[in-house]
Chain A
């Protein structure tokens, strides 16, 4: 597609449920990033994938969070046993994967845990 596509755009879930957020990067982009934007917290790096290399998971806040990227393209961020503090906008981004390449962001998935 023309840009980074994320779904769902909005998700309300009950505390304790699992959620999956999907990201479809720009075609041909080898690097894919997940960030979280919480009210008053700015943008927090979660995880990134680059080609076939092992992902950098250093930003995942707990073991309830995981992500995978299938076939080097679509990625799914999974949050298990959601908590209210997980409420945030989850942003996906992609790039051509070299240090000087621009990173393009999707519009985000708004997650509300009630």
Chain B
């Protein structure tokens, strides 16, 4: 079945550093891909998404590009802030699931220090 694998955390980095969180997937067809973020004490929020190959999702300085050839959807941000400390989840929605339930990776905790 379809699945999502993302790098384990925690990832600890200093403010203004470059962040990459790797995410790869296994799927038949062309799934939609998502990054969700969970800030401390809050619910999951959609950060960005891409619905077809070569699409780039972007939001709040974060970007991720849907790479069909490498089955990847890595999340990047050029200069992180302390407020970016959170758990980040990569997720996919199967192309054949018209009602759209999501399959999530295990999550990656990011800690940004001043």
Tell whether A45 pairs with B99 under 8 Å between CB atoms, given A99-B32, A106-B43, A108-B43: no
Q: Would you call B44 an interface residue if the criterion is a C-beta within 8 Å of the partner chain's C-beta atoms?
A: yes
Docked CA distance A33–B97 (Å): 14
Docked CA distance A18–B106 (Å): 28
B43 in contact with A97 (CB, 8 Å): no
Instruction: Give the contact-size bracket for chain B.
Output: 20 to 34
B107 in contact with A33 (CB, 8 Å): no
A4 partner residues in chain B, CB cutoff 8 A: 43
A31 in contact with B99 (CB, 8 Å): yes
Please count the residue pairs between chain A and chain B whose beta carbons lie under 8 angstroms apart in the complex. 58
B105 partner residues in chain A, CB cutoff 8 A: 42
Q: How far is the CB of A57 from chain B (nearest CB, A)?
A: 12
Q: Would you call A105 an interface residue if the criterion is a C-beta within 8 Å of the partner chain's C-beta atoms?
A: yes
Q: Would you call A56 an interface residue if the criterion is a C-beta within 8 Å of the partner chain's C-beta atoms?
A: yes
Residues of A within 8 A of B (CB): 4, 31, 33, 35, 41-43, 45, 48, 50, 53, 56, 91, 93, 95, 97-108
15 A-B pairs with CB atoms under 8 Å apart are A31-B99, A33-B102, A41-B106, A42-B104, A42-B105, A43-B89, A43-B91, A91-B43, A91-B44, A97-B99, A98-B99, A99-B32, A103-B102, A104-B46, A107-B42
